[in-house]
Amino acid sequence: MSQRENSNEGEREGDVGPGLELEGREDTARGLRSYLTGFALAVGLTAASFWAVRTHAIYGPGVSIALITLAIAQMGIHLVFFLHITTGPDNTNNVLALMFGVLIVFLVVFGSLWIMTNLNHNMIPMKMLMDMQR
Amino acid sequence: MSIASSFSPVDPHHVGHNNLALGMERDTPGHGEGGPAPKNVIVPYGFWIFLLSDIVMFSAFFASFQVLAGDATDAAPHFDLSNVAVETGCLLLSSFLCGIASLCANRRRLFGTEMFLLLAGILGAAFLTLEIREFVGLIQQHQGPADGAYYSAFFALVGCHGLHVTVGLLWLGTMMAQIFAKGFRQEILRRLACFSLFWHALDIVWVAIFSLVYLMRFAP
């Protein structure tokens, strides 16, 4: 009972940490529903990704876009249903940190790809370079 | 509420501190008058920051992989997609069971917590076994980390994730022992919450790996 009171004391303030759940009986039921929903959706999206590369139903060049879309969707499912990141006011800190992380990830990945593609484009083709060295 | 209507010595910059002292309702959640946030909020939040920085590190590996993979389409190995599918299933189910274990811990059910943690650990170990088998197979076909830029990037990225899973398994074992020996004390529950975050975050990284590294090879 004292632990219960302690944790309620902890939730009195306006913020919650990521992945934290409440401890009542109905909260457990809600948590279980959340995990089951997340698991079902994640399995569905994974299956869709594997299906997308095997089927010929999708227009060829569209497959990679489908894969990226499905991957981002599945990451969102994991964040919402497994890590319990919500849009509620008690989650503002978690969401802000996440958004900053996502910004850095996009800068690193797309910045690298952009710069390296551009360099590659401006470079003398490798075969020509080899011929010049002969 | 009129924000800039008056200068107040209690809250000169209107950041919401001491709103209660001014006789207003507090409009910023939980800051200022209540003292620092409680430990079971701060600890998972700090760990969340660490996880995000870990994901930033993974993004650098992803970027180098994409750059080097784009150049080496002819050298791509023949991945066994069904192996990847089984690995994905293991890790996803493991993540799910870890979540169920944390629900059990919230209800202070010792047996359930330990059982689901054990199952999550077994599935994590199965994932790691499959991955190591795949790595050994690749190295035997002279497609090891020293056999070209593509393989260096591949082994760095996927190996780094595998290393995280290994560390996670060690952590899972010590978590089970701590829960068994010390019971559901507050600091143990905080550690379990952090472990659960770690395990779920690894699954998020794996989603990116199986989509961008493995399946993308098979996209026309």
Q: A49, B100: Cβ pair inside 8 Å?
A: no
* Helices B110-140 & B186-209 angle (0-180, nearest 10): 30
B32–chain A Cβ distance below 8 A for any pair: no
- The encoded tokens of residue A114 equal 């952009």
Q: What is the mean pLDDT of residues A42-71?
A: 90
Q: Does residue B179 sit in helix, strand or coil? A: helix
Determine the pLDDT at residue B76: 62
At residue B147, the pLDDT reads 82
The answer to whether the Cβ–Cβ distance between B30 and A15 falls below 8 Å is yes
Task: Please report the pLDDT score of residue A6 as a whole number.
Answer: 42
Closest CA to B40 of A101, A4, A24: A4
More confidently predicted of B103 and A17: B103
Which residues neighbour B166 within 8 Å (Cβ) at sequence distance 6 or greater? B128
On whether any CB of chain A is under 8 Å from the CB of B212, the answer is yes
Low-confidence ranges of chain B (pLDDT < 70): 1-35, 71-77
Three-class SS state of A125: coil
Instruction: Kindly calculate the radius of gyration of chain B based on its CA atoms and give it in whole angstroms.
Output: 23
Residue A62 scores a pLDDT above 70:
yes
Q: Where in chain B is the domain with CATH 1.20.120.80?
A: 39-218
Contact B92 A46 (CB under 8 A): yes
Half-sphere exposure of A57 (CA within 13 A, CB side): 8
Any A CB within 8 A of B91 CB: no
Residue A3 predicted with pLDDT over 50: no
Whose CA is closest to A79, among B205, B117, B89, B122?
B205
Structure token digits, residue A93: 């800190």
**What six digits make up the tokens of A47?**
């299956």
Mean pLDDT across A101-123: 92
Cβ distance B38 to A10 less than 8 Å, yes or no, reads: yes
Please give the Cα distance from B21 to B159 (Å, whole number): 55
Domain B39-218 bears CATH identifier 1.20.120.80:
yes
Tell me the CA end-to-end span of chain A in Å, nearest whole number.
83
For helices B186-209 and B39-71, give the axis angle rounded to 10 degrees. Answer: 20
- Asked if pLDDT for residue A12 goes beyond 50, the answer is no
Residue A58 with chain B: CB contacts under 8 Å:
none
Per-residue pLDDT, averaged over A41-60, amounts to 90
Asked whether the beta carbons of residue B210 and residue A49 sit closer than 8 angstroms, the reply is yes
Q: Examine the pLDDT at A14 and tell me if it is beyond 80.
A: no
Give the count of beta carbons closer than 10 Å to the beta carbon of residue B169. 19
Instruction: Identify the pLDDT of residue A10.
Output: 41
Interface membership of B99 toward A (CB under 8 Å): yes
Indicate the residue type of A104.
I
pLDDT score of A21: 62
Contact across the interface for B103 and A53, Cβ inside 8 Å: no
Q: Is the dihedral of CA A21, A24, A28, A29 positive or negative?
A: negative
The token duo for B156 is: 């760095």
DSSP letter string, B5-72? SS--SSSTT-SSTTTTTTTS---STT-STT-SPPHHHHHHHHHHHHHHHHHHHHHHHHHHHHHHHHH-
Residues 178-197 (B) with a CB less than 8 A from some CB of A: 184, 186, 193, 196-197
